[in-house]
Amino acid sequence: MVRVKLCGMTREEDVRAAVEAGADAVGFIVGFPSSPRNVTLERASRLMEAVPPFVDTVLVTTSALIREEMPGLRKMRMNHIQLYGDSNPEDLRSNLRVRVIKPYPLRTHDPSDAARGVAGFDAFLTDTYVRGMAGGTGKLSDWDLCLKVREKIAPTPMILSGGLTPENVGEAVRRVRPFAVDASSGVELSPGIKDHKKMREFVSRAREAVD
């Protein structure tokens, strides 16, 4: 069964709605001040407390913030870090007891480039490359290339992101067969504010695609 991550949570009611929709994981963005979905570390920690057991929490952040905020990070209830930057994933696993996801904006049509970057990480998240943006572009990914990447990095799990919506996630799952799918802007009313109906539809259609 494909897993579903809903990312960019900023409000308690959206966290609860994502959980009720059946999300396997919810994501919180910290350390990207230009993003409308960015929250403080303290706010992310409070939002994570609204996530019940058996639903994973993902901190989407940078190496710089990790270096600055390690004491605060140790107090948070998180299961995964989606890491932008050059921190050692093994250090994060031992210091914070988390799994580490490598985000990778696909710049070329050679899946070997992605495969070289996956060593040491617990999962690999594909995204669409846009100049000047680290990730979360909202642009549709090249699914044929993502399929090649999934096959190249196996058995490392691949998370498919990039422009996914309730309308296209079913086709994306059928074509790429990822371990998980990830959506943020595609399930929103406005930047940072989730659409609860869209989240329910996204989860449902992702799951239906592999029945």
Residues forming the active site: 7, 127
d(CA 201, CA 167): 9
Return the ∠ at Cα 116 (arms to 59 and 118), rounded to 5°: 25
d(CA 138, CA 156): 24
DSSP, collapsed to helix, strand or coil, labels residue 26 as strand
Burial of 145 (0-12, 13-18, 19+ CB in 10 A): middle
Helices and strands in the chain: count of H runs, count of E runs: 8, 10
d(CA 169, CA 66): 32
d(CA 204, CA 211): 11
d(CA 166, CA 56): 21
Question: Distance from CA of residue 154 to its chain's centroid?
Answer: 19
